[in-house]
Amino acid sequence: MIVRQFELVDFRNYVQASLSLTDHITAVVGDNGQGKTNLVEAIGWMATMSSFRGAPNEALVRVGTDQAIVRAHVEHEDGRMLLIECEINRSGRNRVLVNKQRLQRSRDLLGVLRVSVFAPDDLNLIKGGPGIRRDFLDETLVALRPKYDTDLRDLDRIVRQRNVLLKQVGGRLSADVAFTLDVWDSKLAATGEVIGTARAELLRDLVPLVSAAYRDLVDVDVRIDMVYDPVWRRTGLAVALADNRSDDVRRQLSLIGPHRDEIDIALAAMPARTHASQGEQRSLALAIKLAAHRLVTDRIGSPPLLVLDDVLSELDPRRAAALLQHLPAGQVVLTSADVLPPDAGAATVLRIVRGTVVS
């Protein structure tokens, strides 16, 4: 899959912009605050239908307008051209059209266009809370198997319903309510097991790739562990929910399940969050993202579009060079506020000034 052309209308600070991407590296340069990240945010939105910056949809629509449009001309492996058009509405539903045909369910777009985004915030994969690591695994799983998105949304809905029920119970469980809670527990257990198994299997395949990617970047052989071993997976979620019920009822909250899981990351057998240096954490985060990118490339058979948003400036020159040298084949969009390193190998350099592409 190759994204040939990309257009935005009323997206963030862009009134209208159109850019052609090359087969390999396209560099986007410009001073801070001109709209480089906004541009790649729009590309990322088409892959996940959400902002990688975590911004709500209304924040993506240009001030004073009601609707942003993001458009991509995509060439498929078999030579077919796809025109993907997304209308992001300030209020109300978003609309997605593929070759001018409206998708009945907008979320069917997931899996059509795959994008891996590397950004300075990726450091939070190591330093941030468990939710960031869960989201990373889940997003990778959606890229591999779009149906997983439905499991995630079901999980979210079930947990919210179960939490409201626990609040309504107010700490005292009657036989009638226990019968209803049993039903939600069964639903949570069924969906939770699917998600738990998918995450565990993903990590099993991902960890060797992370070690290899880290070695590529820092040229040191060091042991990396990423462990996903929630207590509930040892007994099964159904049993764990039953065992933990009195706690859930007392705290009026669903305390166990995939929505609370942690992924422990260790570098040289020490917890990376507390023991690794800032530089090591940055390289490790980058290695994890690179590994996921390679895994999706292998499984799908073609590389996702790779976005490196202001990543080079965060690395020391040696590691930046190592990253560029080990970039997987495929399309790359690279943004930078600085002058590009000479070995960046960008075929096209686009300059952004105040929301317009000037060259």
**Chain positions contacting other proteins, by CB under 8 A:** 104-105, 108, 111, 146-147, 150, 154, 157-158, 160-162, 164-165, 168, 176-177, 179-180, 182-184, 186-187
Query: CB-wise, 187 or 326, nearer to other proteins?
Result: 187
Distance CA 347, CA 358 (A): 16
Pair of tokens at residue 67: 């609707």
Query: CB-wise, 253 or 266, nearer to other proteins?
Result: 253
The three-state secondary structure class of 85 is strand
Query: CB-wise, 120 or 146, nearer to other proteins?
Result: 146
Distance CA 348, CA 249 (A): 59
Phi, psi (rounded to 5 degrees) for 75: -100, 120
Distance CA 283, CA 91 (A): 39
Closest by alpha carbon to 1, among 143, 138, 213, 162? 143
> Cβ of residue 146: shortest distance to other proteins, in angstroms?
6
Query: CB-wise, 111 or 236, nearer to other proteins?
Result: 111
Query: CB-wise, 18 or 150, nearer to other proteins?
Result: 150
Distance CA 10, CA 64 (A): 9
> Cβ of residue 299: shortest distance to other proteins, in angstroms?
15
> Cβ of residue 166: shortest distance to other proteins, in angstroms?
9
Closest by alpha carbon to 314, among 294, 273, 284, 288? 284
Query: CB-wise, 32 or 104, nearer to other proteins?
Result: 104
> Cβ of residue 78: shortest distance to other proteins, in angstroms?
14
> Cβ of residue 247: shortest distance to other proteins, in angstroms?
19
Closest by alpha carbon to 305, among 19, 7, 26, 8? 26
> Cβ of residue 243: shortest distance to other proteins, in angstroms?
20
> Cβ of residue 157: shortest distance to other proteins, in angstroms?
4
> Cβ of residue 3: shortest distance to other proteins, in angstroms?
22
Query: CB-wise, 62 or 162, nearer to other proteins?
Result: 162
Question: Which is it for the CA torsion 290, 292, 295, 301, positive or negative?
Answer: negative
Q: Residue 197 burial (CB < 10 Å; 0-12/13-18/19+)? A: exposed
Query: CB-wise, 212 or 300, nearer to other proteins?
Result: 300
> Cβ of residue 144: shortest distance to other proteins, in angstroms?
12
Query: CB-wise, 15 or 183, nearer to other proteins?
Result: 183
In DSSP terms, 3 is beta-bridged to: 74
Distances (CA, A) of 293 to 131, 183, 198: 20, 38, 17
Who's near 200: CB < 8 A, 6+ residues apart? Answer: 228, 233
Distance CA 208, CA 288 (A): 10
Query: CB-wise, 160 or 354, nearer to other proteins?
Result: 160
Residue type, 288: I
Please report the beta strands in 263-339, taking only residues with DSSP state E, as ranges in sequence order: 264-267, 270-271, 305-309, 332-336
> Cβ of residue 181: shortest distance to other proteins, in angstroms?
10
